Amino acid sequence: MSEETSFDNIDKGNRRSRKKREIALILPIIGTFLLLTPILKVFIRDDESSLLIPTLLFIFGVWALLIAAAYILSRALAPEIREK
Amino acid sequence: MLTFNIVAGICLAYVAILFGVAALAEQWAHKKKMTFLKSPIIYTLSISVYCTAWTFYGAVGSAARNGLEFLAIYVGPTLVFIGWWWLLRKLVRIGRTQRITSIADLISSRYGKSNLLAVVVTLLAVIGTTPYIALQLQSLTLSFAVFTETNANAPSPAITALLIAIGLAAFTVVFGTRNLDANERHHGVVTAIALEAVVKLVALLAVGIFVVWFVADGPKDILENAESMMPKDAGVFNSRWVTLTFLSATAIICLPRMFQVVVVENDAESHLATASWAFPLYLFLMCLFVVPIAVVGQEILPSGSNPDLFVLTVPLAMGQEGLAALAFLGGFSSATSMVIVAAIALSTMVSNHIVLPLWLYRTQSRNPESDDVRSILLRSRRISIAGILALGYFYYRLTGGTSALASIGLIAFLGIAQVLPALFFGLFWKNASRSGALAGILVGFAVWAYTLFLPSFGDTFLLSKNTIENGLFGIAALRPQALLGVDIADPLVHAVFWSMCLNLLVFASVSLFTSPKPLENLQALEFTNVFGRTSQRHMPSQITTSDDLFILAQRILGRTEAGRLFSEKAQEQGKPSGLPDPTPELILTLERELAGSVGAATAHAMVGQISGRDTVSVEELIAVADETAQVMEYSARLEKQSKELAATAKQLRRANNKLTKLSQQKDDFLSQVSHELRTPMTSIRSFSAILMNDGEIDREQFAHFSSIINDESQRLTRILDDILDLSFLESGKVKLNLENRNLGKLIEQSITASQTAFDTKEIKVNIPTAFHKVTLFTDADRLAQVFINLITNAIKYNDKDLPIINFSVSETVKTVTVTISDNGPGVSEADQEIIFEKFSKLSSGASSSGVGLGLSICAEIMRNLGGDVVFTPSKTGAMFTVTIPRTIKSRDAR
């Protein structure tokens, strides 16, 4: 392997770990956006029937997705902690 | 039938199991069998101490009354944990590097190890936590009361609460103050808490599954009924929802018990990675069945039943006593784990930041070595635990059953949230100062007390009804629940808005307008750059001895621990036995170790007292503060130096090549010179030897030999003259006689001079008239020498009967170029390259008296005159081009 390609690999590795860290920052922001703003009202018609059930399902759905995303992210970030 | 006695028996058995687990864990920890205790699962489960009885029972009650609002309490922590990489990881790293023992310790350590700040935060934590402990006692007695309604012999709620409080205090004292761990970790307690976490989750899930699949007809049935049973307004995505989420997110960091389990009890950062998804998952599961239980509870229980106890009363109403007992244990676990951890966290704060500094201050004059700091610390912690539980109990007795206690959970959240700005900005903002933090916390705390805490008692405590309605002194702008006329309907949202805004404002502006003390600057850098390089602190030499330090370490860490630390350090310093030298590094390590037991401020004060140093020198400060700048400057300098080195190396290489070449040239030159000198010398010597030895030599021969000697001598002289001339020219020391001279005249003179040497030969010279119009400012004699040389060569080597020499001239602004061509044999291609070299006699060279220095001298003269002479290849004969500057400039002249 030539010197240049190994430098390329290091650069790629850095870029990948930086991206992971950026995702770690974006995930709670997305969570905040979905769970704290009335964004749900964009998706459902606001008629007289109660919004309780759709809201309940929406919150639990987003919550479950966030947990799944956090699981994947923590698996991706764990090696970076161990390296240190 | 579950009677009070059976329930009490189950409780005691459960507590006995907890004792056993905690004892076993302590034993394992002692034997270093830590793999299980240090697993991320235990860590995650211990964080669930967040879910207290208030959430275990209260979430269902809240869902029945206020819809989905309760979810906000779990959404906040979820968001904080999935963003762990940016905030929690930094907190944990700081907690480990700075040996942080509590939230008060963290704030104090960040702002220059200020004990005043530690005291303020400790008091705030006690004020914020006491009602919360009372709340746990209340929910425990309420859940007990469920079983005592039918039993007249059961003890009154007051007695139940007292017994519970005493039991909890005993457990906490036994496992929370067993030792003074250098890092304030309590493996026994944490393991017991983890077990309790499992129990409460299993209990709630069991009740939920029972309710959904055994009482109702599955999730579909529940959802259909939810529409009618739950409040019309879902209670989400409004200002209260955002406020609650903010408060709960703050609570997961700032509540003393949460800080204890998340930061202080953390064993490895990688555990945080697991907790980042596992803890939100735990919360998710805790919430999953809250709505179904609320819906079913309202369906099957008579109206007017307390929804806060549905988790317990629904199984009881359905005759499921085993399930009810499990639910009861879940609630019991929630309450006890909260109280235990809170009591440990608070007792650590109280003993480290209030009792110990006071004791140190009091004993300053006495002989401190006779007292054992360790026993003081342990005793003060035990007393603090008892005191905190007593406070909680009295608070419960005073307000129990009133609405003041029911709503205290969120109120307490906001009280402790006042440390958030100082904590959060302390991690990221270097200029956040001690004064700013103190002012911000105090202002926020005052606003919280005035707008939320005191009004929560109604008109029973400090604030009169008139003040609440019309403002302090009747000033409308000071109405506690509508400050400055800002009318926010929800008092909680109102209080959060004002207290956090004013807290932040005061914190930021005071920080900007005060200059921090040196130690604050140091700590600020240590905190904000915790992921950067660990700074090497340079401290001035200390006036202290290792004995003093060892005594101090013994008093706090204990004999074995101190011995281990000091022998380790001695070995590091290369000493086989005895105490290590009191180096700054030793003092710093010791201070860190002590901070793990008594907090940063106290440790700093203690070590400072002994080492006679509690200030930071300016040099040390500059060294640390300028570290980044220095590193950058250093690397820039390195880069520049390496560039310079590369350039120098290149120059050196070039110079070396040149030197090698010159040395080679010199060798060649010397051997050629010797050779050239040797030939005439040999002739002279042999002929003079003949003349000297042969007496019978005739006159004619004598004349012949003498003329040979004479000729060779003259040739020798000429060669030497040429060599001298050449070396003189090459050295550049030749002095030029500059004058104006007509070029035409100069060339005519040269031709005349050349012709004298060949007067027998007839030659033809063509000189254009243009030459006579050109005037040069130069050394005319030297220039003439060049022309004479060239003309002589043209005649000498010419094999034609009539040698013809053509001159031509061309001019530019600065130079005049003279071309001299002849009709001779020319120069062979191979010889063209070497004709200007010294001693270069050409291969085709006809007999000549020269030694091959003529053209070298021409080239050197032209170099000295700032021009040059080159051979120009041509078809007919040889052609030389001489370029002469019109006016010689000093820098051209060499």
Contact (Cβ atoms closer than 8 angstroms) between residue B314 and residue B327: no
- Round to whole Å and give the CA distance between B135 and B401: 10
Q: What's the gap in Å between the CA of A58 and the closest CA on chain B?
A: 11
Contacts with A, B 211-270, CB within 8 Å:
223, 226-227, 230, 232, 234, 236-237, 241-242, 245, 269-270
Phi/psi region, residue B877 (left: phi>0; alpha: psi -120 to 50; beta: rest), is: left
Q: Does residue A9 belong to the interface with chain B, where contact is any CB pair within 8 Å?
A: no
Residue in B68, B80, B82 closest to A59 by CB: B68
Measured in residues, chain A has a length of 84
Q: What's the gap in Å between the CA of B480 and the closest CA on chain A?
A: 27
pLDDT at position B618 is: 55
Which whole-number Å values give the CA distances from B175 to B27, B130, B147, B612, in the listed order?
Answer: 12, 21, 30, 37
Contact (Cβ atoms closer than 8 angstroms) between residue B524 and residue B516: yes
Q: What is the DSSP-derived secondary structure letter of residue B152?
A: T
Q: What's the gap in Å between the CA of B724 and the closest CA on chain A?
A: 58
SS3 state at B885: strand
Query: Which residues, other chains included, contact B468 with Cβ-Cβ below 8 Å and sequence gap of 6+?
Result: B455, B459, B479, B480, B481
Query: Which residues, other chains included, contact A18 with Cβ-Cβ below 8 Å and sequence gap of 6+?
Result: none
pLDDT at position B842 is: 54
Q: What is the DSSP-derived secondary structure letter of residue B802?
A: S
Residue of B266, B270, B274 best to disrupt the A interface, most CBs of A under 10 A:
B270
Q: What's the gap in Å between the CA of A22 and the closest CA on chain B?
A: 10
Residue in A56, A67, A82 closest to B284 by CB: A67
Cβ A31–B241 below 8 Å, yes or no? Answer: no
pLDDT at position B811 is: 85
Domains of chain B plus CATH, in order, are 4-415 (1.20.1730.10), 419-532 (no CATH), 540-617 (no CATH), 629-730 (1.10.287.130), 736-885 (3.30.565.10)
Q: Does residue B71 belong to the interface with chain A, where contact is any CB pair within 8 Å?
A: yes
Q: Does residue B64 belong to the interface with chain A, where contact is any CB pair within 8 Å?
A: no
Q: Does residue B276 belong to the interface with chain A, where contact is any CB pair within 8 Å?
A: yes
Q: Diameter of chain B by CA atoms?
A: 171
Report the candidate in B312, B365, B358, B360 with the shortest Cα–Cα distance to residue B335.
B312
- Measured CA angle at B589 (ends B587, B595), to 5 deg: 100
Q: What's the gap in Å between the CA of B77 and the closest CA on chain A?
A: 11
pLDDT at position B729 is: 82
- What's the distance, Cα to Cα, between the start and end of chain B in Å? 123
SS3 state at B881: strand
Cβ B276–A73 below 8 Å, yes or no? Answer: yes
Cβ B280–A66 below 8 Å, yes or no? Answer: yes
- Round to whole Å and give the CA distance between B120 and B104: 8
Residue in B71, B83, B236 closest to A24 by CB: B83
Residues of chain B with pLDDT under 70: 1, 32-37, 149-154, 178-184, 364-372, 400-406, 459-462, 533-544, 609-632, 757-761, 839-851, 889-894
Residue with tokens 């010279």: B765
- Measured CA angle at B505 (ends B499, B508), to 5 deg: 130
pLDDT at position B631 is: 66
Taking the alpha carbons of B168, B173, B175, B176 in that order, is the dihedral positive or negative?
positive
Q: Which helix (H) or strand (E) holds B807?
A: strand B804-811
pLDDT at position B891 is: 47
Contacts with B, A 35-64, CB within 8 Å:
35-38, 40-41, 49-53, 55-56, 59-60, 63-64
Report the candidate in B305, B229, B280, B310 with the shortest Cα–Cα distance to residue B58.
B310
pLDDT in tens, B733-785: 777 888 888 888 888 888 888 877 666 567 788 888 888 888 888 888 888 88
Q: Does residue A26 belong to the interface with chain B, where contact is any CB pair within 8 Å?
A: no
| Helix residue ranges per DSSP H, B363-489 | 373-399, 403-406, 408-417, 420-428, 434-448, 465-470
- Round to whole Å and give the CA distance between B462 and B55: 30
Taking the alpha carbons of A24, A26, A30, A33 in that order, is the dihedral positive or negative?
positive
Residue in B68, B81, B281 closest to A55 by CB: B68
pLDDT at position B544 is: 64
A 10 A CB-CB count for B440 gives 28
SS3 state at B141: helix
Residue in A35, A52, A71 closest to B75 by CB: A35
Q: Average model confidence (pLDDT) for chain A? A: 78
Q: What's the gap in Å between the CA of B11 and the closest CA on chain A?
A: 34
Tokens at residue B528, please?
Answer: 């904000």
SS3 state at B685: helix
Q: Which helix (H) or strand (E) holds B589?
A: helix B584-598
Q: Does residue B285 belong to the interface with chain A, where contact is any CB pair within 8 Å?
A: no
Cβ A70–B269 below 8 Å, yes or no? Answer: no
pLDDT at position B609 is: 67
Task: Report ipTM for this prediction.
Answer: 0.89
pLDDT at position B364 is: 62
- Round to whole Å and give the CA distance between B440 and B124: 13
- Round to whole Å and give the CA distance between B840 and B848: 12
Residue in B81, B234, B274 closest to A51 by CB: B234
Residue with tokens 């509870």: B297
- Round to whole Å and give the CA distance between B461 and B891: 100
Taking the alpha carbons of B482, B486, B491, B496 in that order, is the dihedral positive or negative?
negative
pLDDT in tens, A32-73: 998 888 877 776 666 556 677 888 888 999 999 999 999 999
Taking the alpha carbons of B351, B354, B355, B360 in that order, is the dihedral positive or negative?
positive
Cβ B232–A36 below 8 Å, yes or no? Answer: no
Q: What's the gap in Å between the CA of B247 and the closest CA on chain A?
A: 13
Amino acid identity at B476: A
**Which positions in chain B touch A37 (Cβ < 8 Å)?**
237
3 state SS for B450-481:
HHHHCHHHCCCCCCCHHHHHHCHHHCHHHCCC
